[in-house]
Structure 1
C-alpha cells in the first residue's frame, strides 16, 4: 500500500506523495480501534507507514480491564503477527487515551484533549453502534452526538489535515441508486439531537413512542443516526477538511495481512456460522438476490486513501466515497450458499449439531413450515433432553423462537390479506 497512488498519472491528477510519505511525521487519532474495521486499519497504519509519529487510540475501561490492558488484548491476535515480526518498533508508536464515545464530551480529560489538539493531524472516526435495534437515545448518543463532540475537538487541532468519518452505504436505504453525495435527513440534526437528549433524560417512554415519527423513511435507528452523522460532518466542512467513507457489508479480509481474518459475528457471519454448525436450516431469502459485500482490507485501503485526498482538497464540501463492490464481482445469495456448503464439506466446523443443509426460500408459507420443523421442533426436543438429563434447559431460546415464529405468521397472514384486498380493489 505504501507504493499506491490515489490516482493514476494518466488522469493527470495524482497526489504529490505516496501514502507512506503522507503519513511521515503525522500523528493519528483513531476511534473504534477495538472494532473489526478499526483493528484492520490500525494494523495497516503500523505496518505500511513506518515513519508515522504517534497513533492515539480512544478506548474506555471495560469488563474490569483498564485501557492499557484492553490495548494489549486487542493487539494480542494473529492480525498483528507481521507487525510484531517485521516492525516491532511500530507498536511503540501506539498511545491509548481513555475516553467513551457514548458519553457527553467523549468523557475525555482536558489534559488529554490538549495533547490531541496540539499533535493530531489526521482523525479516523470509526466508533459506532452497529446494532439495528438500539433504542433511539442510545443510537443518537453513540453515532451522532459522539461525531459532533469529536468534530468539536477537531476544531481545536492546529495541525489537522484530514478528518475521515466512516459511515455506511445503507444510510440512505430508500434510494434505489446510491451516489457519492449527501441525501436529505429527516429533519434538522440540531433539533433532533436536542430533542433526543432532552427527552431521553426526562421522559424516555415518550421518546420511544416518538421513535417511528422521528425516523421518517429510515427503517431502523442505525441507518437514521449514520445519516444524521453525515450531515453533522457536512456542517463542519467550512472549518475542517472532512471526508466520508461508506462501506457496504464488510466481510473478512481478502488478502492483507492474510485471507479470512475476522473477529466478530456481525452481518452475514452469524448466519453462516449457524448454518455451518447445523443449527440454522432455513432462511427467508431470495437465491437470486445480490447483497453488496466488501472485504475488510479493501474497505480499509479506501479509508486510508480518502484521508490523503481530503488533505489535498482542504476545506469545502466533504468528499464522499463508497467502499463497495457495486456491479463488480457480484454474487447471488444462492451462489454464496453453495460456496458455503462446499467449504463446510472441505473444512467442517467442530462440534456441529447436525449436517449443514441450509435452504433459502422466498415462499413465506414454505419458510414457516421449514422453520417449525427444522428450528422449533428440534429446539423443544433439545430442551426436553436437557431437562431429562438434569441439565439446565435453554428456555430463553424456545421463547425467542416462538416469538419469531409468531411475528412471522402475523406478517405472512397480513401480507396475504392485503394482497387479496389489493387484487379485489384494483382489478380491472
Structure 2
C-alpha cells in the first residue's frame, strides 16, 4: 500500500465526523483541510436543535478557534468560501436512531464515518453515558451499514476500557458480555432498561433535578464497579466497543484506543489544548500553589499521547484499512516504548513552576514547593479527612467568635480540600496504575507505513520521537498556563 498518497486518498472523499465540537474532532478537521482542501465534503454531526443552531456552533466552537489560525493564514481570503463549500454542519445526536439526522439522503454520499462523540466525565449520569458512549456506537454502526458507499468506520474508544487490570494490556476487542472481574450476567439491553426505569422511579418521587442527577451518577458508578470497571466512563465505553464488534457484520472497522490525550506536540502549532483534561486539573491546582500533597506510586507510568499524534494515527489507519472487511484495534500511547513516570512528571512540573511562578489576580507570586508523594492512598485519605474536619471545626469556632475576616480564607481552604478529595476519588485507579499498553498493531502499522513512503514530518505518530522534558517544559505546561489558568 502506498502511504505517500494519503493526501490524494482524501481527495474527493466524503466523511462524516461525530462529536465535531470536541477537542480531537476539531484537530482532525483542521488537519484534513490543511493537507487536502479538495476533500469532497465533511459532514460534521453537532448536537443542536436545527441546522441553523448547528451552523452557529460550527462557527463559534470549531472554525472560530485559534486552532484554525494557521489554516486561515494558508488559505487567506479563500478560507470562508472553502469552509462553506466543503463543510456541512448536521444537527443530530448519536444517542438517537439514525443519529437524529432528518435528511435521509446524506448517507447516500458518505464514504467514511469517524465516531469521536463521547462524554468523557468519569462520574457521568448513567443514562447519559449509556446514550452517548454505549448506544451511540450502536446507532453509528447501524447508520454506517445503511450507507451504500461506506468504506470504513473508525470508532474512537479509550485505552482505559481495561479498567484496573495490571501487566501488559493487549490490543484485542471485547467479547459481548465480557467483564473485568469475571462476574457473569452483563446484558447491555438490561443496563439500558434498568437505567431508564431507575430514572422513571426517581421522577415519580418528585425529587429535585439536582438530586436526580446525583443519584443517576451514583447508579453509573455502582453498575460499573459491579462488573469490575472503576467508573461510568470506561464501563460505558467498553460496552460501546462490544456493540460495535457484535453488530458490524462485514463493515470494515478500526477501533482506536488512545491513552491520555494531551496538548499538540507540533501541529498546527505546539501546545494547543482545550478543556481541563485528565492530568491537567492536578497541574492547575499544583501550579496555583493549592496542592502539595499527592497520593501516587512514584514509579507508576502515565501513558500520554499528544493530540496531533493521535489525529495522525486516525488518518494513517484510515488509509490502511479502507474497504478491508475486518475489525482491528489500535492502542495509541507511549507507555510501552517511551514511558514517563509520575515522579518524572512531578519533577518537570516543579522545575517549571519554580522558574515560572504563577501570579494570581491580586498580583501576588505563588511559589510552589516540591510535593510530598504518599505511596499509601489510605494514608492520604486519612490526612485529607483530618484536615477537612479540623478546618470545619475552626470555621465553626471563628463564626461563633465573630472573626469574620478569617472566614473567607477558611472557606477557600475548605473548598480546596473538597476539590482534592474529589480528585483523589476520581483518579485513584490511575495514580496507582500498574498496566502498560501493548501497541503491537500500532507499531506494525507504523513500520508498514514507513516502508511504503509515509511522510513522518506530516503524519508522525511514533511515541519514541517524543522528548518528554522538552514537551512538558516548553510546550504542554506553558499551554496549560495560557489556556486553562
* TM-score of the superposed pair, with normalisation by structure 2: 0.71
Q: Deviations over 1:186-205 (max 9, x none)?
A: 45999833223323333346
The answer to whether 1:84 aligns with 2:72 is yes
**Displacement after TM superposition at 1:147 (Å):** 0.8
Q: Deviations over 1:28-55 (max 9, x none)?
A: 1111121111111111111112220111
**Displacement after TM superposition at 1:404 (Å):** 7.2
Residue among 333, 339, 344 paired with 1:324: 333
Partner secondary structure for residue 299 of structure 1 = helix
Distance 1:408 1:345 in 2: 24
Residue among 160, 175, 178 paired with 1:170: 160
Residue among 238, 259, 262 paired with 1:227: 238
RMSD: 3.7
**Displacement after TM superposition at 1:209 (Å):** 9.1
Task: Summarize the Cα distance change of 1:26–1:382 in structure 2 as closer, same or farther, 3 Å threshold.
Answer: farther
Q: Deviations over 1:54-105 (max 9, x none)?
A: 111111238xx92222111122222111111113254231110001224454
1:349 is matched with which residue?
Answer: 358
**Displacement after TM superposition at 1:236 (Å):** 3.4
1:72 is matched with which residue?
Answer: 59
2:309 is matched with which residue?
Answer: 298
Verify the 8 A CA contact 1:186 1:215 in the aligned structure 2.
Answer: no
1:118 is matched with which residue?
Answer: 108
1:315 is matched with which residue?
Answer: 325
The answer to whether 1:153 aligns with 2:140 is no
Partner secondary structure for residue 143 of structure 1 = helix
Distance 1:274 1:376 in 2: 21
Task: Summarize the Cα distance change of 1:369–1:171 in structure 2 as closer, same or farther, 3 Å threshold.
Answer: closer
Task: Summarize the Cα distance change of 1:46–1:405 in structure 2 as closer, same or farther, 3 Å threshold.
Answer: closer
Task: Summarize the Cα distance change of 1:217–1:350 in structure 2 as closer, same or farther, 3 Å threshold.
Answer: same
**Displacement after TM superposition at 1:258 (Å):** 1.3
Greater RCO structure (CA 8 Å; 6+ sep): 2
The answer to whether 1:45 aligns with 2:45 is no
Verify the 8 A CA contact 1:280 1:375 in the aligned structure 2.
Answer: no
Distance 2:105 2:250 in 1: 19
Residue among 91, 102, 110 paired with 1:98: 91
Q: Which runs of 5+ in 1 are unaligned?
A: 1-13, 410-428
Verify the 8 A CA contact 1:20 1:51 in the aligned structure 2.
Answer: no
**Displacement after TM superposition at 1:131 (Å):** 1.3
The answer to whether 1:333 aligns with 2:342 is yes
**Displacement after TM superposition at 1:127 (Å):** 0.4
1:275 is matched with which residue?
Answer: 286
Residue among 279, 282, 296 paired with 1:285: 296
Verify the 8 A CA contact 1:284 1:362 in the aligned structure 2.
Answer: yes
Task: Summarize the Cα distance change of 1:25–1:203 in structure 2 as closer, same or farther, 3 Å threshold.
Answer: same
Partner secondary structure for residue 55 of structure 1 = strand
The answer to whether 1:216 aligns with 2:208 is no
Residue among 200, 203, 217 paired with 2:198: 203
Range 208-217 or range 17-26, more displaced: 208-217
Verify the 8 A CA contact 1:162 1:308 in the aligned structure 2.
Answer: no
Range 336-345 or range 203-212, more displaced: 203-212
Q: How many pairs align?
A: 389
Residue among 369, 374, 379 paired with 1:361: 374
Residue among 181, 184, 192 paired with 2:172: 181
**Displacement after TM superposition at 1:407 (Å):** 12
Q: Deviations over 1:367-410 (max 9, x none)?
A: 3576478888789989979x93699899698378469769989x
Distance 2:333 2:295 in 1: 24
* TM-score of the superposed pair, with normalisation by structure 1: 0.79
The answer to whether 1:139 aligns with 2:150 is no
Distance 1:380 1:281 in 2: 22
Verify the 8 A CA contact 1:29 1:57 in the aligned structure 2.
Answer: yes
Task: Summarize the Cα distance change of 1:210–1:302 in structure 2 as closer, same or farther, 3 Å threshold.
Answer: closer
Task: Summarize the Cα distance change of 1:193–1:406 in structure 2 as closer, same or farther, 3 Å threshold.
Answer: closer
Distance 1:180 1:80 in 2: 33
Verify the 8 A CA contact 2:359 2:366 in the aligned structure 1.
Answer: no
Task: Summarize the Cα distance change of 1:210–1:80 in structure 2 as closer, same or farther, 3 Å threshold.
Answer: closer
2:466 is matched with which residue?
Answer: none
